[in-house]
Amino acid sequence: MLPPATVPDAVTTSCGFLLVLSIAVPVAGVLLAFVLGDRWVRLVAFTIIPIVLAIVAATVLVLPQSKGPLVYLLGAWTPPLGVALRADGLSAVMLAATAVVISAVSVFAVADFRPTAAEPRAPFAFWILLLAIWGALNTIFVGGDLFTLYVALELLTFAAVPLVSLDGRPETLQAALRYLLFALLGSVLYLLGAALLYGRYGTLDIVLLSSRIGAEPASLVAAALMTSGLLAKTALFPLHLWLPPAHAGAPAAASAILSGLVVKGSFFIIVRLWFQVMPGLLGFAATQLLAALGAAAIVFGSVLALRQERLKLLIAYSTLAQIGYLFLMFPLALDASGYLESGEALAGGLLQAASHATAKAAMFMAAGSIYAGLGHDRITGLHGVARVLPLSVLAFAVAGIALMGVQPSGASLAKDLLLQVATETGQWWWAVVLQAGGIFTAAYVVLVLAHALASSDKSVTLIGPASRPRDIAALILALCSLLLGLVPWEPFLPVPYDSTSSLFGPGTLFKLLLPVLGGVVLAILLSPWPHPLASSARWKVATRVLDPFRRISLAFGSLVERGNSVLCEWPAASISLLVLALLFGALMLVAT
């Protein structure tokens, strides 16, 4: 069960020092690597990564034994004057997921990052930024007050932005600058909210604040500002203008980190804010709005993903859709008295975040291998790639299967939990969206696999060497995501029933067939590129029947694309940010 978060805890617990170490060791690594310079950077990184991995493992093992969260008071000052670090079940899950992803990416990056003539310092920068991102993420997961979270969030952005432009091309520099400026707008709104909360309640400590906060104008305005600021950093639709160019332009290892982990940082702060600081303030309408944005993100992201020409852009748009999926848990977590309950819905959301982190990182790594092998990543040019790069395609397939929610993946367990809560609370419309999300995910996975597995007329030549450690790292990460449903979650998250019992039932088959069949239909209807079956004579009848539907869906797709290009203009995106802040404020005011 979740440890109770409302008890004022003002003592350092016995193993609390682990939390300090989980932040201090990566930061020490950054400084050390910076001082020692280019020659030693790998040695430093490969010393620090196992140490932090051990610290995180120790934290995860110690937490179930201690009653309640692990706490460390910095300098033994108690809040509100001091700063506390706390790790509860949510922190443990995210700490572990981050550690696994970063370890796999670092194995991948050893093979991938070699100093080139164009950018001799790119590997050096990559390793330093990797450690910096790890330190910042750990701070977000264990930070106990809203200002620490702000600083950690900024550190995360400052480490993530240079990762986007590692190769120094003008397009990626522009993407990085857009990302930085929009993220800064978001974080200033968050800081403004924090100032208002401090002014009213005299503390920013999460536990203290949750006991003091009430439904007053100051707290509602602060909640609206902080939420919309964090949404901008998470790139929830319609605030996603920076995400696709930034995530698709970065080198594969950097994309895996950005897409898998960095967006989860601000998502985690939203979870902390709504579930722990002000669970009683939001009310029905605001949570419905949040999930409606999520649903819109699923439709927009998936339709756009199916229309992309390049594999990396497809994966970037699929991240957009998956971010939307994470926000479906908010209305489901609301109980009858309008209070956000840290129950099964929250567990489902967190599980989805963890499984998306692993699966999406694996997908980007597989795409990186394919790009390195072929010299391009055009989806229509992937024919025959499964023969020359079988491990990369396998890793992509396993990650995709895990992501679409096939047993026993983490996504499947998350979907089960959310669907169950949706039935219990009678919110059937979110159950529909949850199923549709799985089908859309299947659509773009099927699309890529159909092209990759199709036979090619001419032999495929590799321009780069296929690297086995690179592919194996991606494959292991994808398998992690696929097996997440089998992990015993009870000590960390309230997962009520034993999910492994129904592993080989008729339900499993249905859960596999529904998304795959729906996905095939959607992929044929929405993808504008000639699909591999179009030329075969046997399918002529089917294609003739489907043709009018296909024309309608393609028109819908191009409409979505045009709408998206309007939303991705800077003024439109920043005005929708302000409008969202106003809407959240108004809805919360009505609710209280």
Partner 1 sequence: MSGTTVFGLCAAAAVGLGLYGLITNPQPLRKIIAFNLLGSGVFLLFGVVGRRGAAAGLGNDPVPQALVITGVVVAFSATALAIALLLRLFKAAGSATLSSAPMRADPDPSGD
Residues that bind partner 1 (CB under 8 A): 80-81, 147, 150-151, 154, 157-158, 161-162, 165, 168-171, 173-174, 176-178, 180-181, 184-185, 188, 191-192, 195-196, 198-199, 201-202, 245, 565, 568-571, 574-575, 578
CB closer to partner 1, 191 vs 346: 191
Angle at 173 between CA 169 and CA 176, to 5 degrees: 140
The distance of closest approach from Cβ of residue 157 to partner 1 in the complex, given in angstroms and rounded to an integer, is 8
C-alpha 131, offset from chain centre: 19
Question: Who's near 214: CB < 8 A, 6+ residues apart?
Answer: none
CB closer to partner 1, 232 vs 271: 232
The distance of closest approach from Cβ of residue 176 to partner 1 in the complex, given in angstroms and rounded to an integer, is 6
The distance of closest approach from Cβ of residue 201 to partner 1 in the complex, given in angstroms and rounded to an integer, is 8
CB closer to partner 1, 205 vs 416: 205
- Coil, strand, or helix at residue 495? coil
Written in H, E and C, the secondary structure of 348-359 is HHHHHHHHHHHH
CB closer to partner 1, 199 vs 375: 199
209 is written with which tokens? 């604040």
Angle, helices 468-483 vs 390-403, to 10°: value is 20
What is the total residue count of the chain?
Answer: 592
CB closer to partner 1, 185 vs 350: 185
C-alpha 14, offset from chain centre: 32
The distance of closest approach from Cβ of residue 311 to partner 1 in the complex, given in angstroms and rounded to an integer, is 20
Instruction: Name the nearest CA neighbour of 238 among 558, 560, 567, 570.
Output: 567
Question: How far apart are the C-alpha atoms of 392 and 467, rounded to whole Å?
Answer: 10
Which amino acid belongs to residue 124? F
CB closer to partner 1, 173 vs 483: 173
CB closer to partner 1, 322 vs 564: 564
The distance of closest approach from Cβ of residue 35 to partner 1 in the complex, given in angstroms and rounded to an integer, is 19
The distance of closest approach from Cβ of residue 133 to partner 1 in the complex, given in angstroms and rounded to an integer, is 15
Say whether the peptide bond before residue 80 is cis (omega within 30 degrees of 0): yes
Instruction: Name the nearest CA neighbour of 52 among 29, 85, 86.
Output: 29
CB closer to partner 1, 508 vs 574: 574
Question: Who's near 23: CB < 8 A, 6+ residues apart?
Answer: 85, 135, 138, 139, 142
The distance of closest approach from Cβ of residue 171 to partner 1 in the complex, given in angstroms and rounded to an integer, is 7
The distance of closest approach from Cβ of residue 180 to partner 1 in the complex, given in angstroms and rounded to an integer, is 6
What residues pair up with 334 in beta bridges, in sequence order?
Answer: 340
The distance of closest approach from Cβ of residue 579 to partner 1 in the complex, given in angstroms and rounded to an integer, is 12
What is the DSSP secondary structure assignment for residue 83, as one 8-state letter?
Answer: -
Written in H, E and C, the secondary structure of 96-163 is HHHHHHHHHHHHHHHHHCCCCCCCCCHHHHHHHHHHHHHHHHHHHHHECEHHHHHHHHHHHHHHHHHH
The distance of closest approach from Cβ of residue 245 to partner 1 in the complex, given in angstroms and rounded to an integer, is 8
CB closer to partner 1, 61 vs 188: 188
Within 10 angstroms of residue 178's Cβ, the number of other Cβ atoms is: 20
The distance of closest approach from Cβ of residue 56 to partner 1 in the complex, given in angstroms and rounded to an integer, is 26
CB closer to partner 1, 181 vs 533: 181
CB closer to partner 1, 182 vs 330: 182
Give the HSE-up count for residue 470: Cα atoms under 13 Å, Cβ half-sphere: 27
CB closer to partner 1, 425 vs 574: 574
274 is written with which tokens? 């709504």
The distance of closest approach from Cβ of residue 431 to partner 1 in the complex, given in angstroms and rounded to an integer, is 37
Contact in structure between 391 and 397 (CB atoms under 8 Å): no
The distance of closest approach from Cβ of residue 202 to partner 1 in the complex, given in angstroms and rounded to an integer, is 4
Question: How far apart are the C-alpha atoms of 581 and 592, rounded to whole Å?
Answer: 17
Question: Who's near 376: CB < 8 A, 6+ residues apart?
Answer: none
CB closer to partner 1, 151 vs 479: 151
Give the HSE-up count for residue 331: Cα atoms under 13 Å, Cβ half-sphere: 26
